[in-house]
Structure 1
């Protein structure tokens, strides 16, 4: 069972820009191994009274769990990240990664949202690739914790279309069509095909 859990996280090694997916998987594996407290709770201090056998036993078990957690975390990182974190304990590793990857996430989110909000379909371009690209941007933003929701996402896509789609936009909004983004994509492709076939007649 341990090898399966280890494989599930090492298959998606942390390389920097996949922190959120990696961290979610890490937490699942640590919960399965009953090691989640190693990153969620403050470190345990070494007992002062060395005569208390039970307390010493608990502390030794804690140190073993701490090492298992650290090995699991390091094994799931790229070699460069392993080198940077090999001298830290698990809680320090997570805190450092959150700071490091948080800054990267902010930059990535800004670039993605900038591209998304400025997306415009050229008059003679095909609507399919354009909308697919916007859906991809929306999905990437969602992975970074920035979910716009279906209605706002639809509005962004519709606002990126030229005037030749005005009839489609009016019809779509008036009928309050309950469609997901991919269904909307197919509707837009069909609509553009109808426009093109009308021009060729």
Structure 2
């Protein structure tokens, strides 16, 4: 093996609208003008470092970036404080949105590999293991 990371086929965000399993918020991606960055710079393997930087740029203003680095909060009990319930709900909403951006901005091969991965934290760990050596 030459040590070269293979280039994977790409698609566009628009081709995924409504087709990425579980991505209810994906239709809103066209409303975020920054999402064009991910559309033009999809993850194909060799561009992981640039793709991750662009993902951070898109997720930061929408306040979804934190789920890339934080594991899911425990499900609050019925008697939990409202702030705990709100934090849990916010995490799940942000995870869903980030998951949609990530899924829509990667190659079909990577999308299929991660289609059953529930959290963006786990997806990012997997991608780091696969491509993190490029940094």
TM-score calculated relative to the size of structure 2: 0.69
Look up the match of 2:78. Answer: 50
Q: Deviations over 1:96-135 (max 9, x none)?
A: 11111135x3xxxxxxxxxxxxxxxxxxxxxxxxxxxxxx
SS at 2:98 equivalent: helix
After superposing on structure 2, the runs of 4+ consecutive aligned residues of structure 1 that deviate more than 3 Å are: none
Larger helix fraction of residues:
1
* 2:49–2:132 CA contact under 8 A, matched in 1: no
Counterpart in the other structure of 1:95: 125
Among 62, 72, 77, which residue is 1:33 paired with? 62
In structure 2, what is the Cα distance between the partners aligned to 1:28 and 1:3? 11
Unaligned ranges ≥5, structure 1: 106-144, 146-201
Q: 2: distance between equivalents of 1:41 and 1:102? A: 18
Aligned positions of 1:43-192 closer than 5 A: 43-47=72-76, 49-52=77-80, 54=82, 55-88=84-117, 89-103=119-133, 105=134, 145=135
Equivalent pair of 1:74/1:82 in contact (CA under 8 Å):
yes
Q: Tell me the equivalent position of 1:160.
A: none
Instruction: Kindly state the Cα deviation for residue 66 of structure 1 after the two structures are TM-superposed.
Output: 0.9
Q: Which runs of 5+ in 2 are unaligned?
A: 1-29
Q: Report if the CA contact (8 A) 2:72-2:91 is conserved.
A: no
The higher-RCO structure (CA 8 Å, 6+ apart) is 2
